Amino acid sequence: MALQGISVLELAGLAPGPYCGMVLADFGARVVRVDRLGSRGDVSFLARGKRSLAVDLKRPQGAAVLRRLCARTDVVLEPFRHGVLSKIGRSGENPYPPLNLLADFGGGGLMCTLGILMALFERTRSGKGQVIDASMVEGTAYLSSFLWESQQLGMWEQPRGQNLLDGGAPFYTTYKTADGGFMAVGALEPQFYKLLIKGLGLKSDELPHQMSMSDWPEMKKRFADVFAKKTKAEWCQIFDGTDACVTPVLTFEEAAHHDHNKERGSFITEEEHGVSPRPAPLLSDTPATPSSKRDPFVGEHTEEILREFGFSQVEINQLTSDKIIESNKPRANL
């Protein structure tokens, strides 16, 4: 795989760091998660393809172990801590929390991964490493560059929820169907908008102009009334195969079984967590091959990892005796 031979130490944490480590592991890096002693287990749910080393970093001997490992590793992920919500939400309502996808995973974990890959590439030329300072706030702001750059175009002059791309336009929002499902509409371009109107059984000459913002609230109500008269499956039958940019809002289960996703192999099945998205992007020569094994127990690979990094059995025994490290081997159920 693309990152074969790259070694990573990930200090256990939540969300951004573990996600970054999982991405690196999916694409071939050997990732060791450094867990706290006494941890009940991994709470990040992002341990795929990793091994676990349990060490007490609060004690000098434990910190010395980590420094010794760092000297022979390529990447160290240290997650300890030293938005764009104003644009998300419907008119007259509080801003919506975008789950934790924006800051934790987009602006945090993924931007950190990008920084690591750029630093590894630069190292091939200079031979030098560097510190990647990945701030979730700054990463999220960078993701929102389009919002900042497009302000001069007048795209965000209206209050939140009343603009072109934030749910204000009747042709760029979601609608509830007769069976409680939802359809997503993104018919921004005129040629797509015409197909939307046709599929809804409406007539263009009986409607206000597409970009008449003052008429948008009334048009949204009219579209909502129409969508509410058919089920999600019926609307899919009407719009499938067209360029109207009208698609169903799929549940996780529906997405995993969708014909398009099955044909591309967009989802994989893990031993412990069941179905999850396949690593992206898909590389033609060195695609990711995510581990299908269960997540490691905390400290499951402690001795194995330390031996790989040159620790003698005498040293390992002493660290165990001093309660600096912890080993937890899986036990067979007889």
Q: Which residues are catalytic?
A: 104
Look at residues 134, 136, 153 and name the one whose alpha carbon lies nearest to residue 144: 136
- State the CB neighbour count (10 A cutoff) for residue 86: 10
Contact 91, 168 (CB under 8 A): yes
β-bridge mates for residue 130, sequence order: none
Instruction: Identify each DSSP E strand in the chain by its residue range.
Output: 7-11, 30-35, 50-55, 75-77, 172-176, 182-186, 246-248, 267-270, 274-277, 325-326
Q: Is 55:324 a contact under the CB 8 Å cutoff?
A: yes
* Range list of H helices, 27-132: 60-70, 111-126
Amino acid at 103: A
Kindly report the number of other CB atoms within 10 A of residue 7's CB atom: 18
Tell me the CA distances in angstroms from 40 to 130, 137, 243, one per residue in order: 33, 30, 51
Q: Measured between alpha carbons, how far is 137 from 73 in angstroms, rounded to an integer? A: 28
Task: For 236, list phi and psi in degrees, rounded to 5.
Answer: -60, -40
For 31-43, give the DSSP string.
EEEEEPTT--S-S
Strands 172-176 and 75-77: unpaired
